[in-house]
Amino acid sequence: METRPVVSTSADVSNDHEATAARARSDREAFGALYVAHRETVFRYLRARCGSDDDALDLTAVTFERALAAIPRYASRGGGVVAWLLRIARNAVIDQERRRRPLIPQWKAPEHASPDPTPEEASINAEERRTLREHLSQLPPVQRDALAMRYAAGLTASEIGAVIGKSEEATQKLMSRAIARLKEGLS
């Protein structure tokens, strides 16, 4: 199966995705095509938004599981199917954070849960992700979401606005503030 490397925002591709989403309401193969077309986008967003790559993988699966359950109710409301999927992903992250928050501020797995780092965790890029996640976690949730959607998932300001419920202009301002704050933290 082919993996889409970046998010395309052209009208033609968007129309194709809308048509696939419409078919996916009753056609399992069409849902499979939807999954292949958008799994990278969803995963990259979650990788920037979650505390670890493993959490991002779990929540990517959860996102598509929920999408499969919700696809009969799908209706395009700004941002198309990408925004719809990222709304599901975003809610999955928020719910996960809420479940963990009252018990302890930062949920920690017991030592025996994952004793060895994966090869990727040992890589330089994984280290860089850890550093950036630490700084991203200091931002307000909506700013964190916007940056994850922009720089990890590759969404446009308009698409991000459709997910977080803000206008394109307000989303751009919000991202500028977030970048400025992140820059300050990284300096």
Partner 1 sequence: MSTRANVEDRLSAAFGEPMTSAERSKVEARVARLVDHAPARRRGFGLRLSRSMLLVAAVILMVPLVAAAGVVMLSTEDPYGSGDADAYEAELAAAKAVTPIPPGMAWPSYLDQADDRDASYGTTLGRSMVEINAYCLWLGYWYEAQEAGDAAKVGAAIAALTDARTWDTFTDELTSDQGFRDSIQHNIDAAEAGDAPAVLRELELNCQGAWPPPG
169 lies in the binding site for partner 1 (CB under 8 A): no
Q: Which of 8, 14, 74, 121 touches partner 1 by CB under 8 A?
A: 74
Least Å from the CB of residue 75 to partner 1: 8
Residue located via tokens 């809308």 = 18
180 lies in the binding site for partner 1 (CB under 8 A): yes
Q: For the chain, how big is the Rg over CA atoms in Å? A: 17
Binding segment toward partner 1, per CB under 8 A, in 13-21, 42-50, 166-174: 42-50
38 lies in the binding site for partner 1 (CB under 8 A): no
Is the CB of residue 148 less than 8 Å from the CB of residue 94?
Answer: no
Q: What is the DSSP string of 138-172?
A: TS-HHHHHHHIIIIIS---HHHHHHHHT--HHHHH
In the range 121-140, which residues lie near partner 1 by CB under 8 A? 125, 128-129, 132
Least Å from the CB of residue 1 to partner 1: 8
Taking 3-state DSSP, the helix, strand and coil percentages for the chain, each rounded to the nearest 5, stand at 70, 0, 30
In the range 7-26, which residues lie near partner 1 by CB under 8 A? none
148 lies in the binding site for partner 1 (CB under 8 A): yes
User: Considering beta carbons, is residue 5 or 12 the nearer one to partner 1?
Assistant: 5
Least Å from the CB of residue 149 to partner 1: 10
Binding segment toward partner 1, per CB under 8 A, in 14-22, 108-116, 166-174: 108-116
Is the CB of residue 80 less than 8 Å from the CB of residue 17?
Answer: yes
Region of 48 please: left (phi>0), alpha (psi -120 to 50) or beta: alpha
